[in-house]
A and B are shown apart, each in its own frame.
Chain A
Amino acid sequence: MLVRCSLCGGENEMEPGQEMLTCSFCGAALALARPQGPEHLILDHKRDNAAAESVLRSFLIENGRKRPTETATEFSFIPFSMMDSVDGKESIAPASRSRVPAGGTPYPPAGQYRFFDESCARGEKVVPIETAADGAVRIVHLPVYEIRYQAGSWKGRAFVIGESWQTIADGLPPQRPRRVALGPLLAATGLFVAYLAIGSFASNALARLALITASSCGAYMIFSLREKASRRT
């Protein structure tokens, strides 16, 4: 935001949170009072649909869900009210009725906040403030990606917050079936057959139990010793 010096008339850029600044033309200290209403800020962010979609994919992989396919991404700057309660606790709430991220509220990311200006939105959609909360000290327009996607036959949507890359979703696709690792499965099958073969040498159940137990314990001990030796090296 531009601030005009009362001494020389020079225009100076002021950052959010600043209350004093030095005039870059005449060097005078300029004093600014806190505004009566809440500060209106916007988080500087360059739209990157691919980055947001990869964040969503990562989120679904982390939760063991099906991968998203056929994504459609919409981007907009959505307003949120930041409140500072009497007991010193901060909270954040949506300041618009439409396009509210379903499934949770984002925390304000760290980044370059600027005083609100249409030009900061870089031509992207800006959702207007509709319901500024009482006692809001700040209203921030945060960059939000709304991604509609399909995972198998499941359709849903998720919100990704720019800069912090926080993912908010009210529903998740079904769990992804886990792939069986062939190596351990083959090893287990081999061991099973070997134990069966060893057990066939015994004449009764008790002897069979003893033989299988001894052979499995022996195999486990050899494996553990080899593991320890390989870790040491």
Chain B
Amino acid sequence: MIPETAAGTGMDRVARAGAAPAAGPEPAKAASAAAPSLAFGATCPECGGSIRINEGDRSIRCGYCGSALYVTSPRGVQSYILPPRVTPAKARLSAIHYIAERTDGRIGARNTSALDMKLIHVPFWRMRARLMGWLSGDRVKLAKTAVAPDDPTAGPSYATVREVHEAYSRLVFKRIDWSAPACVLPYLGLQGISLRTSFLEWYVLDDARRHEYTIALPTRSERGARKDALSYLTHLAIPAGTSVRASRFHLFDSRFSLYYYPVYMLRYCCAGRIYTITVDGGNGSVVRGEVPRQRRLDAKKLFFAPALLAFFASAWLPLAFIAAAVLYASDTIRAKLLLPPHAWLASRIQTLLEGED
């Protein structure tokens, strides 16, 4: 028999903390003047000792009497954190290597100046669940049929290919381990990636670690994550080359947890422009990086455009001017922008020789 903890009853009497003030003329001052809120502690119902309950814990053991306790209404979700395995210096080094590699050694550490580097623990939702459902539809197959001509003297038989639609239905029952970022961070380039949670050594996110690291706030709600997961998993369950007429899927026994993954965000400056590089704090690889674009010389245009112009000029000099006038008119109509001839000429020569940005 597992007794209920005091947490089950104490939760009803909690303070309402951190609520935004109603919109008004002086809402900020009202919030700042708030006194410390009161929270109710949970004690072991067997021995009365203080017990430690982490967020999302469903069952715990009393540290004093050893009683197994069941938390009737667990608060929050279980959160885990991976301390960074890569030092900031190593992260910076891998960023420099990345820049040099992507620019063929054209830009190195001496051409750039690092502005700042931040270590952020990015939250990821992890969902373990069972996906159950069914779907039915058509499976499209290509059938090859040999057709003999009516007149045997007309020639050999030939083959025709046609689409054959076969009805099918399928039951899906899968164990799911899914993860996705819990916040929108387009500048970190972490959209659409998942964590290999099973292969890493995670620590429970306790109060000490929460204060130690910069933790990004999960802005994606659990409900949103569930919707994303269901949509993604439903899409995966559809076999390739089929069309779905009807389907129904549900998630059962879903357990959500938050995993905070370390990521270094490095900003550097090169020729007045600021670029961002995201380095994985777990293994030191670059997740996403911006590097200065290389304006390559367009050799074909460099050699053949003067050749064409030289042919026109040698054939009949005004022909070169006529060709230039036609090009100017064509560019003006295409861009719907009337540039002064000298500006057009400068831009055209630049584009012709160095290509577009």
Contact = CB atoms under 8 A, between A and B. Distances in A.
A3 B32 contact: no
B304 interface: yes
Interface of B: 7, 10-11, 14-29, 31-32, 34, 36-43, 50-55, 57, 75-76, 115, 120, 122, 183-188, 206-207, 210-211, 214-221, 223-228, 267, 269, 271-274, 297, 299-300, 302-307, 309-311, 313-315, 343, 346-347, 349-350, 353-354, 357
Nearest to B10: A31
Most interface-central of B37, B52, B115 (chain A CB within 10 A):
B37
A40 B224 contact: no
B41 A30 contact: yes
Nearest to A96: B23
A113 B121 CA distance: 13
Contacts of A224: 299
A28 B28 contact: no
Nearest to B42: A29
Given A19-B76, A22-B207, A188-B353, A31 B40 contact: yes
A165 B267 contact: yes
Interface in A173-206: 177-181, 184-185, 187-189, 191-192, 195-196, 199-200, 205
Contacts, number: 288
A1 B31 CA distance: 11
Contacts of A16: 18, 217
Contacts of A107: 184-186
B303 A31 contact: no
Nearest 7 Cβ contacts at the A-B interface: A28-B41, A40-B20, A195-B310, A88-B227, A110-B216, A19-B76, A88-B224
Contacts of A220: 299-300, 303-304
A58 B273 contact: yes
A11 interface: yes
Contacts of B122: 110
B184 to A, nearest CB: 5
A223 B41 contact: no
A188 B219 contact: no
B11 A130 contact: no
Contacts of B207: 21-22, 24
Nearest to A221: B303
Interface in A1-46: 1-8, 11-24, 26-33, 35-41
A35 B18 contact: yes
A5 B211 CA distance: 19
What DSSP secondary structure best describes chain A's contact surface?
Answer: mixed
What DSSP secondary structure best describes chain B's contact surface?
Answer: mixed
Contacts of B29: 118
Contact of A2 (B28, B37, B357): B37
Contact of A29 (B19, B53, B183): B53
Contact of A184 (B20, B42, B223, B297): B297
Contacts of A110: 120, 122, 183, 185, 188, 214, 216-217
Contacts of B225: 88
Given A4-B38, A224-B299, A90 B221 contact: yes
Nearest to B297: A184
B350 A181 contact: yes
A73 interface: no
A216 B304 contact: yes
Interface residues of A, number: 105
Given A32-B17, A40-B18, A205-B315, A199 B310 contact: yes
B161 to A, nearest CB: 43
B124 to A, nearest CB: 13
Contact of A33 (B14, B57, B349): B14
Contacts of A17: 217-218
A180 B23 contact: no
B187 A129 contact: no
Contacts of B20: 37-40, 116, 129, 132, 136, 138-139
Nearest to B18: A115
B43 A7 contact: yes
Contact of B314 (A32, A36, A128, A196): A196
Given A20-B54, A107-B184, A40 B310 contact: no
12 contacts: A7-B41, A13-B211, A18-B55, A28-B50, A31-B41, A35-B18, A35-B19, A55-B274, A84-B223, A108-B217, A195-B310, A224-B299
Interface in A153-172: 164-166
A20 B25 contact: no
Contacts of A219: 303
A116 B21 CA distance: 10
A37 B34 CA distance: 15
A31 B224 contact: no
B297 to A, nearest CB: 6
Nearest to A131: B23
A233 interface: no
B40 A30 contact: yes
Nearest to A8: B41
Contact of A40 (B21, B24, B353): B21
A4 B41 CA distance: 10
B221 A28 contact: no
